[in-house]
Structure 1
Amino acid sequence: MAHLVPSRHRQLDFFVADILDTVPKDDMTSMEHPLFALKAGDKRVRTYERTGSIVTVKPGHDGCATIHDKDVWIYCISHLVEAINRGREDVGRVVRFTAYDFLVTTNRDTSGRAYERLGDALARLSGTRIETNLATDGQRERAGFGLVDSWRVIERNHDERMVAVEVTLPDWLWRSVKAHHVLTLSRDYFRLRKPLDRRIYELARKHCGAQSKWRVTVKTLHEKSGSAAPLRNFRGDVKKLSDSNELPDYRVAFDSEGDTVTFYARSQNGTKAQIADLFGGLKMANRP
Structure 2
Amino acid sequence: MGKNIPKTTSPHLAPDRRKQPDFFIADIFDASIKDDMASMEHPLFALRAGDKRVRVYERTGVTVTIKPGYDGCATIHDKDLWIYCISQLVEAKNRGREISPTVHFTMYDFLRTTNRRTDGDSYERAASMLGRLKGTVIETDIRTAGQRDRRGFGLIDSWRVIERDSDERMIAVEVDLPHWLFRSVSAMQVLTLSPDYFRLRKPLDRRVYELARKHCGHQPTWKVGISTLHEKSGSTDKRFKFRAAMKLLAEADALPDYRMIFDTEADTLTFRQRENKAVRKGATA
| TM-score normalised by the chain length of structure 1 | 0.88
Write the distance in 2 (CA, Å) between the matches of 1:154 and 1:87.
26
Structure number with larger C-alpha Rg: 1
Structure 2: runs of 5 or more not aligned: 1-9, 279-285
How far is the alpha carbon of 1:146 from its aligned partner? 1.0
2:92 is aligned to 83
How far is the alpha carbon of 1:15 from its aligned partner? 4.5
Preserved contact between residue 257 and residue 277 of structure 2 (Cα < 8 Å):
no
How far is the alpha carbon of 1:16 from its aligned partner? 2.1
User: Which of residues 12, 35, 42 in structure 1 aligns to 2:21?
Assistant: 12
1:278 is aligned to none
How far is the alpha carbon of 1:202 from its aligned partner? 0.2
User: Which of residues 199, 203, 210 in structure 2 aligns to 1:202?
Assistant: 210
1:170 is aligned to 178
1:42 is aligned to 51
Kindly provide the amino acid, as one letter, of the partner of residue 75 in structure 1. Y
| Cα displacement string for residues 106-152 of structure 1 (whole angstroms, at most 9, x for unaligned residues) | 0000110000111011000000011113579xx98622111000001
User: Which of residues 5, 19, 33 in structure 1 aligns to 2:42?
Assistant: 33
1:182 is aligned to 190
| Cα displacement string for residues 74-127 of structure 1 (whole angstroms, at most 9, x for unaligned residues) | 0000000000000012x2110000000000000000110000111011000000
Q: Does 2:261 align with 1:253?
A: yes
How far is the alpha carbon of 1:161 from its aligned partner? 1.6
| TM-score normalised by the chain length of structure 2 | 0.89
Kindly provide the amino acid, as one letter, of the partner of residue 78 in structure 1. S
Which structure dedicates a bigger proportion of its chain to helix? 1
Which range moved further: 188-197 or 156-165?
Answer: 156-165
Preserved contact between residue 31 and residue 195 of structure 2 (Cα < 8 Å):
no
1:280 is aligned to none
Q: Does 2:46 align with 1:57?
A: no
1:223 is aligned to 231
| Cα displacement string for residues 129-186 of structure 1 (whole angstroms, at most 9, x for unaligned residues) | 11113579xx986221110000012453531121001100000000000000000000
Aligned residues: 267
1:279 is aligned to none
Write the distance in 1 (CA, Å) between the matches of 2:119 and 2:25.
17
| Cα displacement string for residues 10-60 of structure 1 (whole angstroms, at most 9, x for unaligned residues) | 222235252342611001000000000000000110001111211100111
Cα 1:87–1:20 change in 2 (3 A) is: closer
User: Which of residues 57, 61, 78 in structure 2 aligns to 1:69?
Assistant: 78
| Cα displacement string for residues 196-233 of structure 1 (whole angstroms, at most 9, x for unaligned residues) | 00000000000011101000000000000000000000
2:282 is aligned to none
Cα 1:260–1:95 change in 2 (3 A) is: same
Which range moved further: 140-149 or 67-76?
Answer: 140-149
Tell me the SS of whatever aligns to 1:9: helix
Write the distance in 2 (CA, Å) between the matches of 1:95 and 1:169.
8
Cα 1:120–1:264 change in 2 (3 A) is: same
Tell me the SS of whatever aligns to 2:223: strand
Preserved contact between residue 17 and residue 115 of structure 2 (Cα < 8 Å):
yes
Preserved contact between residue 97 and residue 165 of structure 1 (Cα < 8 Å):
yes
Kindly provide the amino acid, as one letter, of the partner of residue 86 in structure 2. I
Kindly provide the amino acid, as one letter, of the partner of residue 168 in structure 2. E
Kindly provide the amino acid, as one letter, of the partner of residue 114 in structure 1. S
Write the distance in 2 (CA, Å) between the matches of 1:110 and 1:97.
15
2:5 is aligned to none
Structure 1: runs of 5 or more not aligned: 271-288
Cα 1:134–1:195 change in 2 (3 A) is: closer
Q: Does 2:124 align with 1:116?
A: yes
Write the distance in 1 (CA, Å) between the matches of 2:101 and 2:163.
22
Tell me the SS of whatever aligns to 2:254: coil
Structure 1 stretches of 4+ with a deviation exceeding 4 A read none
How far is the alpha carbon of 1:189 from its aligned partner? 0.2
Tell me the SS of whatever aligns to 2:256: coil
Tell me the SS of whatever aligns to 2:12: coil
1:152 is aligned to 160
Write the distance in 1 (CA, Å) between the matches of 2:159 and 2:264.
46
Q: Does 2:235 align with 1:240?
A: no
Kindly provide the amino acid, as one letter, of the partner of residue 93 in structure 2. I
2:4 is aligned to none
Cα 1:158–1:14 change in 2 (3 A) is: closer
Tell me the SS of whatever aligns to 1:187: coil
RMSD value over aligned CA atoms?
A: 1.9
